[in-house]
Structure 1
Amino acid sequence: MIISTISQGLLWAVLGLGIYMTFRILNFPDMTIEGSFPLGGAVAVTLMTQGVHPLLGTLMAILAGCLAGLVTGLLYTKGKIPTLLAGILVMTSCHSIILMVMGRANLGLLDAITLPDLLPLDNSFNLLVLGLIFNFLVILGLIYFFYTRLGQAYIATGDNRDMARSFGIDTDKMEVMGLVVSNGIVALAGALISQQDGYADVSKGVGVIVIGLASIIIGEVVLSANLTLLERLISLVVGSIGYQALIWLVVALGFNTNYLKLFSALVLAICLMIPELKKKFLKGVSLSR
């Protein structure tokens, strides 16, 4: 169970890394991810059932997610549609696109070869290694990107859009790029989770934004707030594993699994309130002295 929990946490951490690109860097509440996540799984599973190599199928899933992010970015920057509404429009559209891709509401992998099958270990260890590999690649790619001039312009856009524009940064282009990369990573997570579960489903994206945000917030709450960028990304992975451990504990205690979404929302709400509660507690302690 420990290996399984860590494996689950690592695979879901990829989702958190994708959300971090928009939620934490751009301060952009992107609802597109609830469409790009199942879209990535649908594209990957459909291609694999047709005999396509799982690595190519996963790459095509990433491309599908990037296209979803591109549409959201264009609706927001060029169409001047509010952020939430642009994401919701694309998320809703993805539902129909997934049905077009799979031809049905859900599709199983059956005897198709998946990425875990390419590794020579037992299934649980294959998933663990797969999670480590993709987390390493995504974190390495993000760190490299953030320390380039383009990445610094992207961070500046998130810090202060007006000031970034005054320095000659094309903020619209930065936001579109962020949405493309973010949803590509989210679609990668969808492809990996679908390969782990053995099927893709049109409703798989419901509530995934809560899971991703919980990973980010738990990591930030558990570890110190004064972290480097690399440490923040690693803390996200730790938070994702911690979240999956909490889910396992709830299941082990015999709670009804139908209420896991409610539990996820409660965990996220509590974690979001912890910093404010800390401030009030410290303020009360200082006043008492």
Structure 2
Amino acid sequence: MIIVTGANGKLGRAVVEQLLKRVPAEQIGVSVREPNQAQELRECGVRVRRGDFDDAGTLHHAFEGASQVLIVSSGIMGEAEIPHGIQQHLTAIDTAKKAGASRVLYTSHMGSSPTSHFAPMIHHAATEKLLEDSGVAFTSLRNGYYASMALMMIDGAIRTGELIAPVDGPVAWTAHSDLAEAAAAIISEQKWYGMTPNLTGPEAIDMEGIATIASEVLGRNIRRTIVSDEEFRERMLSQGVPEASINMRMGMFLASRQGDFAQVDPALAHLIGRSPKSFGEVLKESITHKQG
């Protein structure tokens, strides 16, 4: 049985939906903290069980009979949460191994690095080391940076007409739907063991490029304004953004300046058999969805 954790989240649910196109529903199980939110999956024939990364007992039940387990990474909000997140992933890996899974897959990131300025990348790198040391076959999905994050970053700019941020670097923004399709293909076809190539969108663009694309899609000008790191931090504080969130954003900008998210790789296109969605396409879909 294929087990997917975090199946009530955006990526996890999309992976399950893609798996349902490839394998019988009775061969799929999900591990979720709130089973009542996965009723639609249960109605499709998917096995739904409660699983919590902080409770090994629930994971043992959720992973029962597993042949493969996809661990959708737990989110962290800053460096202080890294140890807890790593422990959660260790619990999931150990439980999958004890359940007899022949392979554990993990949703990592193209920028995974123990020395990154961006805290989640340290989290991913530590988990990849746990997988390497686990003794079980594994696949680490080096996903491109989620385009949904760029949408969040420009949400205010769409309202004001001005995209204000410090100096940044190009990012290979990637759609959740493309990554979910890739994950389902890798799982169902038993492809790609170890670290995958970077699974990225078709282009790497910076904030200036995002402002240009948004202007074209919206039919009105979105101006890119560069401010210093200090001014950006002060602006965020004045808007009531928590310090931890500001540090996360600054870490992302610092990492992007170093080119940590700039590499574009054809692997995702080859895997899904078509060109991945561009940021412009993702933005158009988002606007259409909101208007609908």
TM-score past 0.5 threshold: no
Point out the structure with the larger helix share: 1
TM-score (norm 1): 0.27
TM-score (norm 2): 0.27
